[in-house]
Amino acid sequence: MTETFEAIRFTADAVVATTDGYVLLIERGWDPHKGQWALPGGHVDVGETSRRAAARELGEEAGVYAAPDELSQVGTWDAPGRDPRGRYVTVAYHLLVISGTPVEAGDDAVTARWWPLTHLPPLAFDHAEIIAAALARTED
C-alpha cells in the first residue's frame, strides 16, 4: 500500500475590530490574491505559537502592536482548497481596540486601513467567514 503525505503549512490571522464597528484589513502586496483585501496574518515561524505569530504579523503588516495574551482565539480554518498555494491551516484570533487606533502598512501589505463592517470589500481566501465567526463570538 502506498501512503500519500500532504504538506501542511501553518498560519495565523488577526481579526482586529474597533468599538464602533470597523475592522482592520490589509491590501495584499503579492500573490496569491495580490491587490485584494485580507486580514493581517502569515506563517507561524519555527518555535513560535500561532498566538505569538498573529501578534507579530499584526505589528509587521499593520503597525498595530498587542501582546499575544491580548488576542482571543476564534477558531481554526483548515478546509482543503482554502488557499491556492496548497494546504494551509490557520488559527484566527480576535482583538478589540478603540476607535481611531492608528495603522501603518508594512512588510507585505501595500495598504492598511479600517473598513466599516457594514461595507466590506471582497476579501481574499475565506477571510469573510473568519470575520463573521469572530464577530459572532463577541456578540455572545
Q: What is the pLDDT of residues 99-108, one digit of tens each?
A: 999 999 998 8
Task: Tell me if residue 94 falls in helix, strand or coil.
Answer: strand
Per-residue pLDDT at 4? 86
Check whether 140 has a pLDDT greater than 60.
no
CB 93, CB 54: distance < 8 Å? yes
Check whether 138 has a pLDDT greater than 90.
no
Using pLDDT thresholds of 50, 70 and 90, give the confidence band for residue 61.
very high
Domains, the chain, with CATH or none: 11-139 (3.90.79.10)
Question: Could you tell me the three cell numbers for 136?
Answer: 459572532
Q: Which residues pair with 73 in a beta bridge?
A: 93
With a CB cutoff of 8 Å and minimum separation 6, the contacts of 8 are: 87, 88, 89
Per-residue pLDDT at 59? 97
Residue pLDDT, tens place only, 68-123: 999 999 999 999 999 999 999 999 999 999 999 999 999 889 999 999 999 999 99
CA dihedral 109, 122, 89, 42 (to 10 degrees): 10
Question: What's the mean pLDDT when you consider all of the chain?
Answer: 95
High-pLDDT (> 70) share of the chain, %:
98
With a CB cutoff of 8 Å and minimum separation 6, the contacts of 64 are: 16, 24, 40, 58, 95, 97, 101, 103
Check whether 62 has a pLDDT greater than 60.
yes
How many other C-beta atoms can be found within 10 angstroms of the C-beta atom of residue 71? 22
Question: Could you tell me the three cell numbers for 83?
Answer: 488557499
Question: Could you tell me the three cell numbers for 22?
Answer: 470597523
Cite the beta strand spans of 60-120 per DSSP E: 72-77, 87-97, 109-116
| Range list of H helices, the chain | 50-62, 127-139
